[in-house]
Chains A and B, each alone.
Chain A
Amino acid sequence: QVQLQESGPGLVKPSETLSLTCGVSGYSITSGYYWGWIRQTPGKGLEWIGNMYHSGTAYYNPSLKSRVTIFIDTSSNHFYLELSSVTAADTAVYYCARGDHYGYSYFDFWSQGTLVTVSS
């Protein structure tokens, strides 16, 4: 059974970089599929952040692209999200998830979600 578990600080200061880790178990990241990040807020609902393949091919939400980096560590079967220059608007529950074999996809396995609050 594929399982994803994200981790990272629950509180980030404005203007700093939000960093989250997603560990994948039950499936090798290098065996295929895109791996993505999605966030959820009461105001904007579910918002896709970006997807990456283990080869490095990535797709990002244009509204966040200038601030987002997703990267994969195949040796540890983890992938990562970095979101720079955060503001209160980036306060959300963040999920990591497995996409399909294509860059544009639905998500079949999700992490449980972690609340990240941006506040000084």
Chain B
Amino acid sequence: TQLLEQSPQFLSIQEGENLTVYCNSSSVFSSLQWYRQEPGEGPVLLVTVVTGGEVKKLKRLTFQFGDARKDSSLHITAAQPGDTGLYLCAGANRGSQGNLIFGKGTKLSVKP
């Protein structure tokens, strides 16, 4: 059974601070996706990383896929209150369409 461990589980920081969220597995994935979910809503896709070692930037968010495609990280620079939410990583495998393996999530709170 493939599992994705996310850390930390909770993160409460002040506006302007930097943070990193980690997503680790002992299994290899074809791709890794990051989602953000707000209360009462479905997850919204932020990015998909496919190649080992890949780095993608989305404004203040930087996503990295490990060389072995078993882990990923999300770094937020100068966090803002609007970044508050549940961040989820999800692994996908070819041949298992639709079957995303989700981590339990990191609940981020950014205080003004």
Partners in one complex: no
User: A-contacting residues of B (Cβ < 8 Å)?
Assistant: none
